[in-house]
Amino acid sequence: MISYTYSPSEEIARWATEVYIKKNPKLGWWVAFTNPTAGPWKKVVAPGEGGTSVEIYRFIREEERPDLILVNDDFKVILIVEAKDCVGKLIASDQMTKSIRVIREMAEILSQSRNPHWQTRKNYKVLPSFLWMCGNGNDIQKECSLVRKEFLARWDGPKRDVVNIVVSKDKSENLINTFVYKGGVFQNLDFQLS
């Protein structure tokens, strides 16, 4: 077995979450957009006929974009995810303000899409989501409370709950995702997002 050494980063947290989604297709989630350091950062996609991906939106070069968009057609939910490598960077006031702006703008773009492959999703519930790595799994709930508090302090619309996705290591040093929503802590993204 190969042993890897790495520093916690936004890229690793995003990657671990994408791997989780792809390894658990029975949960119904799929990646509509990912913003890796290098890669297919230009377009949002939806499933087309025959299992192909169809482009539904293309970002312009300097346009702000989220780090990840996850969709579940069974739950009729879209998660627009903003990521940082640690909670401190995520809750910085300028970052949270930017994150909220990106989430709002992307939600608007998706709700106004005229692409026929997106029409059934235009009225899905859009939930703000935040992703980061946590060095100590015992701190997950405390960190989630900080994110929720900072989000609500800057959010000027109707009250919204957030889905926090926290990546940490288990006792064997494997990366695991923990999902926190409305105070509940879940190991799988299979809970009702109402």
Query: In the chain, pLDDT over 90 holds for what percent of residues?
Result: 63
Single out the residue of 123, 133, 134, 191 nearest to residue 163, CA to CA. 191
Is 89 contained in some domain? Answer: yes
The more confident residue out of 135 and 179 is 179
In the chain, the number of structural domains is 1
Does some domain include residue 16?
A: yes
Split at pLDDT 50, 70, 90, the class of 75 is: very high
Name 136's Cβ contacts closer than 8 Å, sequence gap at least 6. 168
Query: For the segment 138-171, what is each residue's pLDDT rounded down to a tens digit?
Result: 899 999 999 999 999 999 988 888 999 999 988 8
The residues near 63 (Cβ < 8 Å, ≥ 6 apart) are none
Domain that holds residue 163: 10-186
d(CA 168, CA 125): 27
**More confident site: 1 or 46:** 46
Does a structural domain hold residue 37?
Answer: yes
Q: What is the pLDDT of residue 1?
A: 46
Q: pLDDT tens digits for 104-136?
A: 999 999 999 999 999 999 999 999 999 999 988
CATH code, domain carrying 37: 3.40.1350
Comparing CA positions, the residue from 63, 69, 74 lying closest to residue 25 is 74
Within a domain: 51? yes
Distance of alpha carbon 169 from the chain centroid: 19
Tokens 């809970």 correspond to 191
Instruction: Residue 149: count other Cβ atoms within 10 Å of its Cβ.
Output: 11
Kindly list the distances between the CA atom of residue 167 and the CA atoms of 11, 19, 110, in Å, as whole numbers in the listed order: 11, 12, 27
191 within some domain: no
3: in domain: no
pTM over the 0.75 mark: yes
Flag whether 5 is in a domain.
no
